[in-house]
Homo-oligomer: A and B are copies of this chain.
């Protein structure tokens, strides 16, 4: 490749990476609004993002399309090819984080007006804080190509699993104490499952960052609580 072609190619890879960062920011906003909407019982905030699915889908498709065009036209190898493949996979995980958040927002809208104990939210708020930290951390690790940070996020996922387990037990108790808690607690259980899966997607992205930069795969077995 001529120097001029190499520069143009670098610009294309940079643009691809920037699209991922931009999509990450959109997904973080959807996540934040869904969880604020749920825990503050703010139906407007939650309702504002329930229709974001097609936008997330479009962002993912744009990233996939760009990556495939680069692969077909520039025929990259080694780290450049890994950048393109990682972009396709990370966009998929980001879309799923958004879809999970939208599921939470839908439940926040359904739950408006239901009677409930505010204590039920405590465990969910802890999970939300932790998932938000994992998500923003892995997006920074991607932006800075920070392998050490990505590995730390990969290892941290066990804490979210432990929080979900504890929340699950808590909700069962609530429901068995009083049947009127059943609909509300059932929805919160699905919200906590969504948060746990959002953590899994952050872990997937962390694996992608490590692989993209180093070419190494993380161990097949993830750490267990």
Complex interface bits, A54-65 against B, C-beta within 8 A gives 1, otherwise 0: 100110010010
A220:B175 contact, CB within 8 angstroms: no
Q: Is the CB of A220 within 8 A of B57?
A: yes
CB-CB under 8 A from A111, the residues of chain B are none
A133 to chain B, nearest CB (A): 24
The reply to whether the CB of A193 lies closer than 8 angstroms to some CB of chain B is yes
Residue contacts A-B, CB under 8 angstroms, 6 given = A61-B220, A72-B78, A172-B183, A175-B179, A176-B183, A189-B190
Nearest chain B CB to A51 CB, angstrom units: 11
State whether the Cβ of A217 lies closer than 8 Å to any Cβ in chain B. Answer: yes
Instruction: Check if A1 is an interface residue, CB within 8 A of chain B.
Output: no
B85 touching A68 by the CB < 8 A rule? yes
Chain A contacts with B in 200-221, Cβ cutoff 8 A: 217, 220-221
A78's closest neighbor in chain B, by CB? B72
Tell me the dominant secondary structure on chain A's binding face. Answer: helix
Chain B residues within 8 Å of A186, by CB: 171-172, 175, 186, 189
Q: Considering the complex, give the chain B residue whose CB is closest to the CB of A57.
A: B220
* A81 within 8 A of partner (CB): yes
Question: Is A144 in contact with chain B by the CB < 8 A criterion?
Answer: no
Could you mark each residue 35-73 of chain A with 1 if its beta carbon is under 8 Å from any beta carbon of chain B, else 0?
000000000000000000010011001001000100110
- Does A75 lie at the interface of the complex (its beta carbon under 8 Å from any beta carbon of B)? yes
State in angstroms the CA–CA spacing of A61 and B61 once bound together: 23
Q: A125: which B residues are within 8 A, CB to CB?
A: none
Q: Is A153 an interface residue (CB 8 A)?
A: no
- Asked whether B72 lies within 8 Å of A77 as measured between CB atoms, the reply is yes
List chain B residues, Cβ under 8 A from A75: 75
Name the contact of A217 in the complex, choosing from B61, B72, B92, B171 (C-beta under 8 A).
Answer: B61
Chain B residue numbers with a CB within 8 Å of A88 are: 85, 88-89
Inter-chain contacts of A26 with B (CB < 8 A): none
**Would you call A72 and B81 a contact (CB within 8 A)?**
yes
Shortest beta-carbon distance from A195 to chain B in Å: 14
